Structure 1
């Protein structure tokens, strides 16, 4: 005869197994993230010719690492002439290098993180839910890159030029801390990339039947207001409302695109259900 205590233990065992599996998968993802971070933070590479072949050689170099190369690249391409970078605190340079290393390590390790999370949650999903995730994984990555690129090529250069002009108008020496520059650059790229996922979230909710396309269309005013609130949250707030307005208009446009695509997705789902 099975006792009450044994029944409870049998119920707890699957939960513990799931927790162990989750811990194992998270550990793998964190190891990959840590390895890439250390590689970017403390290693450099060069090319050497061996028997006529050009081969990459990786070697440790904390003072001229890959992250240092990236920082120099950002300085030359994002910082306008006349705006000088300075090191305010003793460890600002290491902080900037670590910040850049973590950001790009996270980007590079996203496929591994997605694979591990997918391996954990996939057995508990329905087929339509699996299909949603598979179909929207690539568009989500493309939208994130589009948002990050918009921040890199439009928002940050405009903001830096605005800061330079405004600083000159006050008669103040145009300088900027390295830590502030790198943290602002990475934060804006990350935040804008996530903000561009807005329409994909809408389409996904309509695809699984949680929100109708008509609901998105009927509440378009809330969508526009939400777009400008997000723009206000991620904007640096140093351009007199120009950048905030630009981001708000773009996110509002993405909202209406999401409404249109949601209608198409909803109509397609209805046709498939009728065919069945």
Structure 2
């Protein structure tokens, strides 16, 4: 059956259309999750447990950098002083299932955006669709950059600090598998979504909820918010917080520039439309 024109669709028709888009999103995520489930050795031994090993690339880079600068060599070690264990009968199986679903979402993120775009795009004008070309690619690129940032920066900083922190030499860190994976999942997904800030600002500016002047006016409050956010998702040391805060602040400044471009284009369009025809 041919799809109805958007102007002819009722509210229930829109809900039905959204339902099928959501079903396709779930199917896409589950297909990718199935692939991740079958690639158990790669997902867990290489990716999940990578930051728990002393030869992880981030530790090696930070160790070399700290050695050259003559700073503390807290990232130069042969082994992290903790063990990962599962204390529940179904712990490892549950971790396998939920990690596969998370990996499926990350892998299928461009397809998720594609389905959402297919649902939204019919409501846009032709010129709006034209100016929104590349949305899926740019949003996916930012998301994957954020995921990599969370995996290679936030995860090792957090794992190294929390895994080696001790209140007493009598207490040994035996970390539960679900807590360890939860930290990685939260760091990776949160970073991926945070890196979508320019896209979010673009959309908010387009619909008139945000302006460049508003972003500039509250820049100092944004700085405080970024520092608080950095303190939440990283260990409580200045170096780690700066490493996380700098990219987010750069994204904020980029968002201001994007907001300026959107407003400037809107003013040009309004000016062009107000010119009387000869």
Structure 1 unmatched ranges of 5 or more: 1-11, 44-65
Residue 142 of structure 1, CA deviation: 1.6
Counterpart in the other structure of 2:249: 252
Query: SS of the residue aligned with 2:93?
Result: helix
- The TM-score with structure 1 as length reference comes to 0.74
Q: How does 1:1-276 map to 2 (within 5 A)?
A: 14-41=10-37, 43=38, 66-80=39-53, 81-82=79-80, 83-131=82-130, 133-167=132-166, 170-233=169-232, 235=233, 238-240=235-237, 242-271=239-268, 273-274=270-271
Greater RCO (Cα-Cα under 8 Å, separation 6 or more)? 2
Tell me the C-alpha RMSD between the 2 structures.
Answer: 2.9
Residue 159 of structure 1, CA deviation: 1.7
Query: SS of the residue aligned with 1:167?
Result: coil
Task: Write 1 or 2 for the structure with the bigger share of strand.
Answer: 1
Counterpart in the other structure of 1:59: none
* CA deviations over 1:112-148 (Å, ceiling 9, x no partner): 3333322222222233543454343322222211221
- Quick one: distance in 1 between partners of 2:119 and 2:186? 29
- Quick one: distance in 1 between partners of 2:120 and 2:251? 29
- Quick one: distance in 1 between partners of 2:229 and 2:134? 26
Structure 2 unmatched ranges of 5 or more: 1-7, 54-78, 274-278
* CA deviations over 1:142-178 (Å, ceiling 9, x no partner): 2211221111111111222213432386442232222
- The TM-score with structure 2 as length reference comes to 0.73
Closer, same or farther: CA 217–20 of 1 in aligned 2, 3 Å = same
- Quick one: distance in 2 between partners of 1:206 and 1:13? 28
Query: SS of the residue aligned with 1:176?
Result: strand
- Quick one: distance in 2 between partners of 1:158 and 1:18? 45
**Paired residues, number:** 241
- Quick one: distance in 2 between partners of 1:179 and 1:95? 9
- Quick one: distance in 2 between partners of 1:179 and 1:220? 37
Greater alpha carbon shift after TM alignment, 111-120 vs 155-164? 111-120
Residue 244 of structure 1, CA deviation: 4.0
Closer, same or farther: CA 172–246 of 1 in aligned 2, 3 Å = same
Query: Rg: which structure is higher?
Result: 1
